Structure 1
């Protein structure tokens, strides 16, 4: 028995020594994680790039994004930050149409975080989150503290199954209608290089919650399908010089509704009826023509637009088709891109945000037809400089309606030539409330938008790129025309000259990380 006790005590000492050793190792590991690795310290001291990510519980975490200081000048005041509501470029009756506008902003600052992990050699998972400060709650203002709230841009997860060529994504991401630079992945969506965060008329895009499945065939041919959150914007009928024009004949259809109390929507906003998600299918091809890389894609959209009138629900099927191409005209020097879309009830997918629908005599939605197109050239004269030029437009179709009730002519629809535009060019200084311009015309102005067109160009230049990130400066000029449909008394037009500047610091966007061996 004494021999057994001696052996047990010996084993206990061994265990205590092992536990102590493990504790020391854990402490050393914790200290090592808290401080930059020796390779990173050596790289920074030598002016070389260090790692661009770190690891936590097997996850590769890569921070990204930028801090921004930007400005915008507009030849006609709109009361907008650095994203332009093109559909609201003022006509002459607006007091703002006779003022200029300049403002500075840091709200586009955009932090993001990407998380990756390899479940096995054939299965990879990725999550991406991105925010900016372009949200504007009802209490937001620029009076003193310039306090604006965070806005969710993207928050999604993606799983790649390499063995089957399948990719599954879910969350808030760029819509499947948005152009890709390669393949059909949520992290390859392609945006114009504009500083204007609404981009330009003719650019087809949305960022919405949804679910997507994609199949690739040797990373050359791609096919995808998604269901995405839907929305709709409506245009009301305009007045005429002949009296009332309200359609339908009794009351007015319910196009939008206030949200339920406690439903986590802002009670001061209204929302359309959404019975079904938007359904989108897309195909793409990546290849080479004459030794030049090319990406070609096409998509189709099916959606339901709903309102309520005469005690019943009314809906119309809408949708459209579109596509685009990205090609290297001169490899590493000049790129070309084109994208567009045509359809009925697709207005909220265009940067110009033309209406999706008005309503018919029956009270059902009257979908507005629309064509969108955008083309651009991007020049890379040096590794640090990009020069771009784009042109784009959105064009709505007429959808007028007429009805005779007794001896009264009732008119409605979108773009009706009998709508009254006689006051579109006459400024009304009298329409104020507590010194605030109401933007009410002196005489009627239906002012429904027929088209939006823009030409724009700009430059981006990298001022610094090193182990401490990257600094970019940019400037952009654009000229935009908003044309209204011809009506009684006038054909309204609004124009806008805009100059943008941007200075951005990308603290996590330095050169490609070096391996520890290169720092020895």
Structure 2
């Protein structure tokens, strides 16, 4: 029986061996399938990171303070700016390009130089996860560019803090939905990526008024935006409206609206000064707007390998409002703009460009008026065309070089009543004295038609360590102001501006 049983056991062993080999092949196939799935998931995760998928919120990352589940990130800098202008604007860190004097003014032939620490800025960002899918962020930012009636440059230079931003943002990561309320950059201000309410893609210059062609304001409102896939976002906002009026040949700032010949009836109402207890400065006016500015924006951040590209386009609805001779006048307009921010050479050369058109005067760097008025008090919007292009070259890890060129221009918008001129850029306005020093004001009405600027500068990191960073920079700009042609010609002027800056970033 032992002889007969031997072959049977051999057959059983062979069957078990074949079964084990089959199972081993199945396990190997399953492992290969699992490895392929893991590779696919890893590739998908890399793609999401490359397309700027939001990183997980770390409540206690280095550099943050934490209290009861809320993290606080502090930002800002201590600043000293040096300013020189070949034409005396009597201006601090921001150059009012629409005020560059013509030769008629005595300050055309006087230059100015000063130091200022008022660009010093402080900010704090508070963040927390309310639920697994709900993130809350509060942001506040101040600088010292405020100038109350008690502020002066004689004794203590006591310029007061000024609210820049104060907002709350609620993000639903599961829905890709975001809501922001408070004061922040206007939605038509350009971003560098996505819809960023706290940081605009501003030209990296020292001049606080930036560069002609850049549009933006910081004002209260509410904004909602939706992520549509990892690359596309769509936003809408309702923001606080204000209007810069131009009456006849005089900007309407705290005075009755009259034309150059005093024809407009002072019953024209375009703005009001707040009464006591209104929390408005008694020397400042608020316009009669009754409809918020409505802006929609689409932003696209396509994946292009190592290259970063951001494209956006926006449209804005504005309403302008006044009252004259027992009647209200109401005009609404639409404005448009596009913006591009791109890396030409990854981490080395950046490009930005913007173009805008519409009744955008108060958003411009010049600044221009938004509208003018006819003899009957009805409103004529002033169309603005704005362009900006600039580049930043990161020459070394510490040294950046930059250059920008921009312009803002408008077209003549006027109407006449008999021989009396009205509006903006009217060819009947008197410009005979614009090139004669100290000539009467009535002989130089030149309304600005266009402002151009070319600027270049550098920023260098001279120290970076555990106690913060120190940066220094310098900027030169050449700005031209052109006026519409009137009786006596089309005056023009220019300004050479040099600014230096030293900043300490403690955070």
Cα distance in 2, alignment partners of residues 109 and 203 from structure 1: 22
Residue matched to 1:42: none
Distance 2:162 2:470 in 1: 24
Q: Give the Cα–Cα distance (whole angstroms) in 2 for the partners of residues 458 and 122 of structure 1.
A: 44
* Candidates 420, 426, 450, aligned match of 1:416: 426
2:488 corresponds to which residue? 489
User: How far did 1:254 drift?
Assistant: 1.8
Distance 2:67 2:162 in 1: 27
Assess if the C-alpha contact under 8 Å between 1:318 and 1:346 holds in 2.
no
Give the deviation of 1:95 after TM superposition: 1.4
Q: What value does the CA root-mean-square deviation take over the aligned residues?
A: 1.6
User: Distance in 1 between the 2:421 and 2:263 partners?
Assistant: 7
Partner of 2:226: 215
Partner of 1:437: none
- Quick check: 1:451–1:482 contact (8 Å CA) kept in 2? yes
How many Å apart are 1:293 and its aligned residue? Answer: 1.7
Aligned to 2:97: 86
- Residue of structure 1 equivalent to 2:34: none
Instruction: Tell me what 2:344 maps to.
Output: 329
Describe the shift of the 1:442–1:225 C-alpha distance in structure 2 as closer, same or farther (beyond 3 A).
closer
Partner of 2:319: 304
User: Is 1:401 matched with 2:415?
Assistant: yes
Are 1:255 and 2:270 an aligned pair? yes
Instruction: Give how far 1:185 is off.
Output: 2.2
Q: Distance in 1 between matches of 2:92 and 2:403?
A: 22
Q: Is the aligned partner of 1:361 residue 2:360? A: no
In the superposition, relative to structure 1, how do residues 121 and 482 fare at CA in structure 2: closer, same or farther (>3 Å)? same
Deviation at 1:137, TM superposition (A): 0.5
| CA distance in 2 between partners of 1:420 and 1:469 (Å) | 56
Q: What's the TM-score, normalizing by structure 2?
A: 0.84
For structure 1, the residue ranges without an aligned partner over 5 or more in a row are 1-49, 429-439, 509-520
Quote how far apart the aligned CAs of 1:497 are.
0.4
8 A contact 2:249–2:260 mirrored in 1: no
Equivalent residue for 1:270?
Answer: 285
Find out whether 1:469 has 2:468 as its counterpart.
yes
> Are the equivalent residues in 1 in contact too, given 2:450–2:483 (CA < 8 A)?
yes
Residues 351-397 of structure 1: CA deviation (Å, up to 9, x unaligned):
11101011023311211111011010110111111111000010011
Deviation at 1:292, TM superposition (A): 2.1
Give a deviation string over 1:45-103, Cα, whole Å, max 9, x none: xxxxx931110111101111000011110001110001111111111121111101000
Please tell me whether residue 380 in structure 1 is matched to residue 394 in structure 2: yes
Q: Which moved more, 1:329-338 or 1:187-196?
A: 187-196
Secondary structure of 1:134 counterpart: coil
Q: Residue 244 of structure 1: CA displacement?
A: 6.2
Query: Corresponding residue for 2:118?
Result: 107
Q: State the alpha-carbon separation in 1 of the partners of residues 416 and 354 from structure 2.
A: 36
Is 2:305 the partner of 1:295?
no
Any conservation in 2 of the 1:326–1:338 contact (CA below 8 Å)? yes
- Give how far 1:443 is off: 4.9
- Is the 1:226–1:279 Cα contact (8 Å) retained in structure 2? yes
Preserved contact between residue 183 and residue 219 of structure 1 (Cα < 8 Å): no
The range that moved more, 446-455 or 418-427, is 418-427
Counterpart CA distance in 2 for 1:232 and 1:497 is: 30
Contact 1:220 / 1:287 at 8 angstroms: preserved in 2? yes
What is the CA distance between 1:462 and its match in structure 2? 0.6
State the shift of 1:276 in Å. 1.1
Change (3 A) 1:376 1:216: same
Say which SS state the counterpart of residue 207 (structure 2) adopts.
coil
Partners of 2:472 and 2:424 in 1: how far apart? 42
Q: Which residue is equivalent to 2:301?
A: 286
Residue 131 of structure 1 pairs with residue 142 of structure 2:
yes
What's the CA shift for 1:247? Answer: 5.0
TM-score for the superposition, normalised by structure 1: 0.82
Shift in Å at residue 442 of structure 1? 5.3
User: Is 1:426 the counterpart of 2:426 in the alignment?
Assistant: no
Count of residues paired in the alignment: 439
Instruction: State the alpha-carbon separation in 1 of the partners of residues 417 and 441 from structure 2.
Output: 28
